[in-house]
Homo-oligomer: A and B are copies of this chain.
Amino acid sequence: MPLFQQMTIVGVGLLGASLARACREKGIVNRVCGFGRTRGTLEEAKRRGIIDAFGDTLSTSVKGSDLVVVCSPVTSIAPLVREMLPTLREGCLLTDVGSVKGPVVREIESFLPDRVRFVGSHPIAGGEKSGLNASTSNLFRRAKCIVTPTAKTDSGALEQTRQLWHGVDMDVIEMDMDEHDLVFGAVSHLPHIVAFALMNTVGSLRTAHYDNVASFSGGGLKDITRIASSDPVMWRDICISNRQAILDMIERFQGDLEQTRQWIERNESLPLEQSFQNANRYRMNLA
């Protein structure tokens, strides 16, 4: 028996469309509605059987659903939830896939009525590709999903949210929302910001004979800058939303980099080598 009768996916991009496909494949929902800003995308999603229907407005799209998953850029999540509230069915479970949790969850809980239940989610899936065409029902398989219940969270809603993500083969982990933002500020947001900045530094360099020095790069630059292909709007929103934790992480990184710069400036090869060895060890633990 399906966990939900009707699910609405708000934002039919990489995560939204993949979730719709995975839920359908796993028999988690009976019916999938979609909503998004671009009608062409919704039509395409319907044509390909990823969603069963879509509405002309947010209100008509969420009407009657017992599960709504907001898969839109992180700064739009709370405003969309506020907009859909009047039409949400009594007891509806509401969750999201935002990469930032503290500010989003706090804002939603500040205006959420008792008749709607909300749990913040962050499935660690996706990559530098985005959009409907990159979607796949396997996107979530064996990946982690962080859920961030608060003191206000309904325990039944939490359990259903866990079942949703577990149902698409994710490992579900509960985490405090602010700790989540610090952890992902470090392991995801900082690396993206560094990759964007590094790509700009290298990409803009001109030398005596070369306008595009990046053409001389080996595999190293490609690896380290792959995530610099990520969606600029999505990452702009993450930076603004998780401002505090990201500023903290950038400053920590600036400190480590400046330390390295000083060792190089002073020809201090021993601490330089030790620091590279430490990085080797941390990197080994990643795999």
Q: Could you list which residues of chain A lie within 8 angstroms of chain B, going by C-beta atoms?
A: 124-128, 143-144, 146, 175-176, 179, 182-184, 186-188, 190-205, 207-210, 212-230, 232-233, 235-237, 239-240, 243, 246-247, 249-254, 256-258, 260-261, 263-265, 267, 269, 272-287
Q: Contacts A208-B179, A217-B187, A223-B226 known; A199 to B250 CB distance under 8 Å? A: no
Beta-carbon contact of B213 and A287 below 8 Å: no
Question: 12 A–B contact pairs at CB < 8 A?
Answer: A124-B216, A188-B218, A191-B198, A192-B220, A197-B275, A203-B285, A212-B285, A220-B227, A222-B286, A223-B224, A229-B283, A236-B269
Separation of A125 and B220 alpha carbons in the complex (Å): 10
Q: Which residues of B contact A228 (CB under 8 A)?
A: 279-280, 282-283
Beta-carbon contact of B286 and A235 below 8 Å: no
Beta-carbon contact of B207 and A179 below 8 Å: yes
Beta-carbon contact of B260 and A193 below 8 Å: yes
Q: Which residues of B contact A278 (CB under 8 A)?
A: 200, 203-204
Q: A198 is contacted by which of B183, B190, B272 (Cβ under 8 Å)?
A: B190
Q: A202 is contacted by which of B190, B204, B276 (Cβ under 8 Å)?
A: B190
Separation of A218 and B127 alpha carbons in the complex (Å): 8
Q: Which residues of B contact A186 (CB under 8 A)?
A: 201-202, 205, 213-214
Separation of A250 and B263 alpha carbons in the complex (Å): 12
